[in-house]
Copies of this chain bind each other. A is one copy, B any other.
Amino acid sequence: MSTLAKSPLMGQMMSRPLLISTVIQHADRYFGDTEIVSRRVEGDLHRYKYRDCHRRARRMANALAGLSVEMGDRVGTLAWNGYRHLELYYAISGSGAVMHTVNPRLHPEQIAYIVNHAEDQYLFFDLTFMALVEAFAPYCRTVKGFVLMAGRDRMPKDSTLPNLLCYEDLVDAAGEDYAWPEFDENAASSLCYTSGTTGNPKGALYSHRSTLLHSYATVMPDALNLSARDVVMPVVPMFHVNAWGLPYSAPLTGAKLVFPGPALDGKSLYELMENEKVTFSAGVPTVWLGLLTHAGQQGRGFSTFRRTVIGGSACPPAMMDAFRHRYGVEVIHAWGMTEMSPVGTACTLRAHHLDLPEDARQAVLSTQGHPIFGIDLKIVDDDGDELPWDGKARGDLLVRGPWVAHGYFRGEGGDVLRDGWFPTGDVATMTPDGYMRITDRSKDVIKSGGEWIGSIDLENIAMAHPAVQQAACIGVHHPKWDERPLLVVQKKPGADVSKEDLLRFYDGKIAKWWTPDDVVFVAALPIGATGKLLKNKLREEFAHYVLPTA
């Protein structure tokens, strides 16, 4: 794009801002009788319809006004995926305040930091998190009240929380007449902090416009492909980058919503999916391990489950294979990040792939795919020069688009853009036909003798071994090569494999010099609050590890 010019002639189309409140109004009006089913913290299943959700969201919007929550104020939530959380998504953002979803898996100190940094005015939380909230509440400097997302009967007799309110009391006391305000579509709508594996968490501040454009783009056939015939179960948490936008995109399309609440074990997920006829789900690879293990142990398949989006981390090929070939579930490999709302790319086939042999098609589907329209991306070298799309050149991945952050809340991290592009911190290759493959996080790349070794490739091979539950590959110091790969492995329960056998497993699958120099078996790999492997923890732990080749 060159100069910014002003057109002397404006189009004559209605000026209608892109606002989150229009989503729930559309769902009510055109899909009012479509169900939302939620596994509650209380253990039971709750069922109601989009029109009920809209009615209660309007009541909650009135209640927020009664609590003096104003345009732009941040309101925090610590909650599972469920109907009350969905109501808050619309009540808070729709009324012009900012929905701040907090990850309850973070350390209480980190939560207090985030709540203070966001200057949350109120904090809504599920019963599960009562003790957690009591633990960090004394450190919250801006919270005027805590709202327990439950009925009067669940309110504790005594609590250390100052100004503890009851969600259902607020809803009951408020009227259902509420006119959603109209305002600038660039107004802040929601706030989500990065997991902060290094340094303090930083907040991505979404706008109504960015949220709606992201919704339009993710619904498309070559992204999540959502329709009014789908039954959508967001397993990815609503506190994890807005459950990849599903709380917006499902109502927008009229899909039935099924919320698993806190029951994320394989058995609970499986039964809910079967009972509610789930067709589509979304989650990180770690959560699917439990589901696949349960289905495998029971020797049962899926009756209605047809598509799953897997993102958050690269999906191990063995998992893709199990979904696709054992269960007939289409896996859509996606990639994104908190700073991208989060979806940036999704992998689907193009027409010329349809006649390829099965393994060639699977190779395409193992990439992270194309950017969805609105997102542009490029790979660059250290000087910022664009690298060729030859499927080989690895470079820093930069992105831009109307749902990409240009900075962090309250200026944290300073200027983050490089010439108008957001540096993702990922390293990727591009195929000549525009498919992107993440080869590593830039900080996870193993630098051996001046060459790069991709840790993800090495992990994927290990995870294809039948005895391996999960694997991580990190670079450790080597006197001659600077760094060499060390494979850290968590075995499957009851399974066994020797170090030598596992290293032999790499033969012929990869360049000889990429083979890890050593293997260490551990009881469990460190997993972060969003389900990702914490490689920085592993690097700390093995900082002084001496390789046998050293």
Interface segment out of the listed A200-208, A321-329, A459-467? A200-208
A400: Cβ under 8 A from any B Cβ: yes
A271: Cβ under 8 A from any B Cβ: no
A433 CB contacts on chain B under 8 angstroms = 30-33
A188 CB contacts on chain B under 8 angstroms = 7, 9-12
A132: Cβ under 8 A from any B Cβ: no
Which of B5, B16, B207 is the one whose CB lies under 8 Å from A13? B207
Task: Name which residue of chain B comes closest to A3, CB basis.
Answer: B181
Inter-subunit contact A187/B11 (CB<8 Å) = yes
Inter-subunit contact A12/B407 (CB<8 Å) = yes
Inter-subunit contact B14/A404 (CB<8 Å) = yes
**Which residues between 74 and 127 of chain A lie within 8 Å of chain B, taking CB atoms?**
96, 98
A26 CB contacts on chain B under 8 angstroms = 371, 373, 376
Which of B13, B254, B350 is the one whose CB lies under 8 Å from A209? B13
Which of B7, B183, B228, B403 is the one whose CB lies under 8 Å from A4? B183
Complex CA–CA separation, A208 to B25 (angstroms)? 26
Inter-subunit contact A13/B350 (CB<8 Å) = no
A139 CB contacts on chain B under 8 angstroms = none
Q: How far is the CB of A353 from the nearest CB of chain B, in Å? A: 8
Q: How far is the CB of A10 from the nearest CB of chain B, in Å? A: 5
Chain A residues touching B, majority SS: loop
Complex CA–CA separation, A110 to B437 (angstroms)? 55
Inter-subunit contact B71/A184 (CB<8 Å) = no
Which of B9, B72, B180, B207 is the one whose CB lies under 8 Å from A187? B9
Q: How far is the CB of A180 from the nearest CB of chain B, in Å? A: 6
A231: Cβ under 8 A from any B Cβ: yes
A195 CB contacts on chain B under 8 angstroms = none
Inter-subunit contact B14/A406 (CB<8 Å) = yes
Interface segment out of the listed A147-155, A213-221, A311-319, A503-511? A213-221
Answer whether A12 and B373 are a contact pair too, CB < 8 Å, given A256-B351, A434-B30: no
Inter-subunit contact B221/A7 (CB<8 Å) = no
Task: Name which residue of chain B comes closest to A183, CB basis.
Answer: B5
Answer whether A12 and B182 are a contact pair too, CB < 8 Å, given A30-B434, A33-B433, A217-B216: no
Complex CA–CA separation, A405 to B15 (angstroms)? 9
A354 CB contacts on chain B under 8 angstroms = 229
Instruction: Annotate A1-41 by CB proximity to B: 1 below 8 A, 0 otherwise.
Output: 11111111111111110100001011001111110000000
10 nearest interchain CB pairs? A11-B207, A7-B187, A9-B72, A2-B179, A30-B434, A216-B216, A1-B182, A13-B210, A221-B227, A8-B72
Selected A-B contacts with CB under 8 Å, 24 pairs:
A1-B182, A4-B182, A5-B71, A10-B184, A11-B209, A12-B204, A12-B406, A13-B210, A13-B406, A14-B402, A14-B403, A15-B186, A30-B433, A33-B433, A34-B351, A216-B373, A220-B220, A220-B221, A222-B228, A228-B348, A228-B370, A252-B373, A253-B373, A254-B350
